[in-house]
Chains A and B, each alone.
Chain A
Amino acid sequence: MPKSLDHKRRFHWAPYVALAPAALIAAFMYVGTMVWTIWISFTSSKMLPINNFVGFYQYQRLFADERWQISASNLVIYVVLFIAGSLVLGLLLAIALDQRVRAESSLRTIFLYPQGMSFIVTGLVWQWIMNPELGLQNVVHQLGWRSAQLDWIVRPHLAIYVLVIAGVWQAAGLVMAIMLAGLRGIDPELWKAARVDGVPLTRYYLNIVIPMLKPMFVTAIVLLAVGGVKVYDLIVAMTGGGPGIATEVPTKFVMEFLFRRANIGLATAAASVMFVTVIAVVGPWIYVEHFRREKGRKPV
């Protein structure tokens, strides 16, 4: 963009004043608080922050802590299955909807409405559905399959998978919307050409369409990964981290040690680990998407 007219020489103070609130928020509420959190994690702070530098002591304690180990491994399980499940279901729904089906817009509405609900609502409904005495297990038993065991929510090794189901239920619609938009951008002539060449439908989708949807996959995976790492409300509502500590996750670990156990050194160490992990994944992506190949007009 040309630097704009004759105003080039004059200094414009208005935009600086206008951006002041955003700049203050970015400087104090984002960067400042983050630096403070990281600093606390290097001190021996317990209930209140003190400036007694102890190096990586809190991090050593953190990684030796069983609750943290369970939290971290739960998060890996949750995020991987949540992304995979939402992607597969969302993509299949989008492909199915793209076959000129009837009632497409009603179906789209149905698949997407969970996005509008609070994680608390989602968590509580699924908690009820999975209720071991009166929920789904009871229904299956009444149908005659007496040996069916669907009381996953009270089983330490299975409860995390119930959370995945609820998470996928909420997020698959978003993936569907993103993928459907991508599919609608593909030239219909492509399928005609592929069919003339005798390419079967499954291979058409696997080898031609899915590679073309790569940008949608990247978008969907980043959104799901970020949402997955932030998971907190869903777990508070659905299992409360239980049974025992079987479904604890890092966000909950931080909250627990900040506000219940008054061990802010350890809590901020955990928060800092989360921060570094997220930045390592998202940082390069933000750079590539927003700052390197800024297509079209740059903001003036």
Chain B
Amino acid sequence: MKAEISSNTAHLMVSRGEAAGRKPQRLTIGRIGIYTFLIISAAFFLLPLYVMVITSLKTMPEIRQGNLFAFPEAFNLAAWMKAWSSACTGLDCNGVSVGFLNSFKIAIPSVIASIGLAAWTGYALCFWRAKGAEFIFAILLAGAFIPFQVFIYPIVRIFSTIGLFGTLPGIIIVHVVFGLPVTTLLFRNFFVGLPIDLFKASRVDGANFYQIFRHIMLPMATPIIVVAVILQVTGIWNDFLYGLIFAGRENLPMTVQLNNVVNSTQGVKEYNVNMAATIITALLPLLVYFFSGRWFVRGIAAGAVKG
């Protein structure tokens, strides 16, 4: 199925605006209907982004009196400042900036480690006939579909025993382990698509397991590495559950801090600060999305199973 998705989305990407359907017609009732539907849908999809941005630029009195969709009277960045550096999550009042750094501390090593392991595993699965390899792959694949709650408690116990619970290495390991199915799948499917003669020729030339990986396969895999990086960066940045349980108080990622800021029951609700914090949290994945567009599409099709 995954291979199907990637070839389909590959098709989607190359066909830039080339609708294969029917010839364009003159402006008929049907065409007006289609455009109306598309415009209303676009408004529905953009609405939360719009509301988020304008709310963050308003002052609280303006929010209390005004209309959710009304444009702010003046661009007020005070809420952004507060969200970044002094919004409160329970007792601490350091804003989401702490979480921002924590998310980087978690994401960078997790992305590198998980992609390295996935490329390596995908390569071994695809080109080398090892007994039981398909079985390992089947377990990983099935694991991608199973809710995390099935694994969580024993992992907490194991990590507590060996001192990894609530530490930075602990959360990184969790990301690597549970990112492995989807990323391995990406690499395996990519390698399956490469001509086998390439591999055979390298063997004939006397290259060993590691050399073929390092000098032949890895350089060829650049496009899929890009897809995997985008997928993992956004996936790990957006993670909430793993970070909540495994990161520990010192390393809580941004999503967890954001939720604590907004859903904290203490004090008066400051909707402008909440929305500013929300945008700041969404900023990195949104930038990645808008700048990587077509690569991103390939990733989400594979990554959707991650949930």
Contact = CB atoms under 8 A, between A and B. Distances in A.
A175 to B, nearest CB: 10
A124 interface: yes
B221 interface: no
A31 B48 contact: no
A120 B304 contact: no
A299 B126 contact: yes
B23 interface: yes
B147 A7 contact: no
A62 interface: no
Contact of B147 (A18, A187, A251): A251
B155 A96 contact: no
Contacts of B20: 98, 183-184, 186-188
B59 to A, nearest CB: 13
Contacts of A186: 20
Interface stretch (B71-79, B83-91, B138-146, B162-170): B138-146
A171 to B, nearest CB: 8
A116 B262 CA distance: 20
B41 A121 contact: no
A138 B301 contact: no
A120 B255 contact: yes
Contact of B1 (A30, A107, A289): A289
Interface stretch (A53-61, A76-84, A152-160, A219-227): A219-227
A174 B128 contact: no
A10 B23 CA distance: 60
Contacts of B117: 21-22
A129 B52 CA distance: 9
A14 B258 CA distance: 45
B80 to A, nearest CB: 16
A42 interface: no
Contact of B234 (A92, A116, A169): A116
B136 A19 contact: yes
A227 to B, nearest CB: 5
A34 B285 contact: no
Contacts of A131: 271
Given A22-B184, A100-B23, A255 B155 contact: no
A32 to B, nearest CB: 7
Interface in B287-306: 288-290, 293, 296-297, 300-301, 304-305
B129 A125 contact: no
Contacts of A16: 130
A264 B192 contact: no
Given A25-B180, A274-B147, A184 B153 contact: no
B47 A129 contact: yes
A219 B9 CA distance: 13
Interface in A256-296: 258-259, 264, 267-268, 270-272, 274-275, 278-279, 282-283, 286, 289-291, 296
Contact-residue size bin, chain A (C-beta under 8 Å from the other chain): 35 or more
Contacts of A283: 142
Contacts of A279: 142, 146
A117 B286 contact: yes
A121 B128 contact: no
Interface in B208-247: 208-210, 234, 237-241, 245
B129 A117 contact: no
B29 interface: no
A279 B143 CA distance: 10
Given A19-B125, A113-B289, A128-B271, A25 B203 contact: no
Given A37-B150, A116-B286, A124 B278 contact: yes
Given A98-B20, A128-B271, A128-B274, A271 B124 contact: no
A33 to B, nearest CB: 4
A115 interface: yes
B268 interface: no
11 contacts: A7-B203, A22-B136, A96-B34, A98-B21, A111-B41, A118-B238, A135-B68, A183-B20, A216-B8, A258-B149, A275-B150
Interface of A: 1, 3-5, 7, 12, 14-16, 18-19, 21-23, 25-26, 29-34, 36-37, 40, 49, 89, 92-93, 96-101, 104-105, 107, 109-122, 124-129, 131, 134-136, 138-139, 142, 169, 173-174, 177-178, 180-188, 191, 201, 215-216, 218-219, 222-223, 226-227, 229-233, 236-237, 240, 250-251, 254-255, 258-259, 264, 267-268, 270-272, 274-275, 278-279, 282-283, 286, 289-291, 296-297, 299-300
Interface of B: 1, 4-5, 8-9, 11-12, 15-24, 30-31, 34-35, 37-38, 41-42, 44-49, 51-52, 55, 63-64, 67-69, 117, 120-121, 123-130, 132-134, 136, 138-143, 145-155, 157-158, 177, 180, 184, 188, 191-192, 196, 199-200, 203-204, 208-210, 234, 237-241, 245, 255, 258-259, 262-263, 271, 274-275, 278, 281-282, 285-286, 288-290, 293, 296-297, 300-301, 304-305, 307
